[in-house]
Amino acid sequence: MFSGPKAVFLLATLCCLLWGSAYPAIKNGYAMFGIAADDIPGKLVFAGWRFLFAGWVLLVLARIMNKPVFCFGARDLGALALLGVTQTTLQYVFFYIGLAYTTGVKGSILNATGTFFSVLLAHFIYHNDRLSYRKALGCAVGFAGVMVVNLAGGGAGLDFEFTLLGEGFIVIAAFVLSAATIFGKRISQRMDSMVMTGHQLSIGGAVLLLMGYGGGGTLEGFTLASTALLAYMVVLSSAAFALWATLLKYNRVGMVTVYNFLIPVFGALLSAIFLGEDILQWRNALALAMVSAGIWWVTTEKTPSLTVASAPIQQPQTTRKTGGPSH
């Protein structure tokens, strides 16, 4: 049921829809839990509980599937701790803060730069994953789209609208994700991807909670709606990864990862629907088209290995495997 073009189309699109929905969900979560834009400790507590629970859900699921959940030594434990601190804690410190200072539409477009950072990093790290003309063109168009979405004004009075705490932190989070994912690929060579991701989410979430509560943060305002939203975000992180990893187990990597261009599309559309943001501004629409086209170009080329941001990648046991985050 997980193999074939129809299954890949339906389930990969569902995964991208889930990841794209994270942008309005996080911003709505800030409002429901009364987390102010400058309340950084509160944001860390909010993120910490989400990823701690998501990690636990994945580990329970892995145990039900008879995967070796705790079969690793001290070396692997240290590697998992480092991966959790970088891929979850550090990335989401920047991501959650940045999203508070920019729109969901811009955040979804800017965060897609992780795909292009991954392609550039892979060029310098893997000898069999060099930049080609198609990849270089995709990166150039994608980064140009990022420039377009930060333009303000109209006519001859165009200005560049970019803040470090907002757009800057989103781009930094995308770069941290790309670098951490490459590190995670090495760990996944000797550990199941689902188990690895479950542990790194749990560890990263726990560190976020320590930082948040240590800084005086709290998470209040629990209602039926806010609790349901937090539960949805937990399921979002765990279910999307499990589905994506399963698709990659039974299908060619390129057949699945090509759908990554849908993540910023869904992120922008859902932000427009649930946050009332304007996706039809010329710069938003043009930037979304350029970034999506760039992702399409860099992910549809046949290569021995490809690292793609915002989505996990798993290959057969004879080749490299990797897991990724889920916003």
In a domain, 90, yes or no: yes
In a domain, 87, yes or no: yes
| SS3 letters across the chain | CCCCHHHHHHHHHHHHHHHHHHHHHHHHHHHHCCCCCCCHHHHHHHHHHHHHHHHHHHHHHHHHCCCCCCCCCHHHHHHHHHHHHHHHHHHHHHHHHHHHCCCHHHHHHHHCHHHHHHHHHHHHHCCCCCCCHHHHHHHHHHHHHHHHHCEECCCCCCEECCCHHHHHHHHHHHHHHHHHHHHHHHHHCCCCHHHHHHHHHHHHHHHHHHHHHHCCCCCCCCCHHHHHHHHHHHHHHHHHHHHHHHHHHHCCHHHHHHHHHHHHHHHHHHHHHHHCCCCCCHHHHHHHHHHHHHHHHHHHCCCCCCCCCCCCECCCCCCCCECCCCC
Q: How many domains does the chain have?
A: 1
In a domain, 271, yes or no: yes
- Tens digits of pLDDT across the chain (327 residues): 778 888 888 998 999 999 999 999 999 999 999 999 889 999 999 999 999 999 999 999 999 989 989 888 888 899 999 999 999 999 999 999 999 998 888 888 898 888 888 888 888 887 777 888 888 888 898 888 888 877 765 444 445 678 888 999 999 999 998 888 888 878 877 888 889 889 999 999 999 999 999 999 999 989 999 999 999 999 998 988 888 878 877 877 667 777 888 888 898 889 888 988 877 777 888 888 988 888 888 877 554 443 333 334 333 333 334 344 446
In a domain, 119, yes or no: yes
In a domain, 315, yes or no: no
In a domain, 204, yes or no: yes
pLDDT at 204: 95
Predicted TM-score (pTM) of the model is 0.82
In a domain, 72, yes or no: yes
In a domain, 228, yes or no: yes
Range of the domain at 175: 5-300
pLDDT by residue (tens digit) across 80-115?
Answer: 999 999 999 999 999 999 999 988 888 888 988 888
pLDDT by residue (tens digit) across 44-64?
Answer: 999 999 999 999 999 999 999
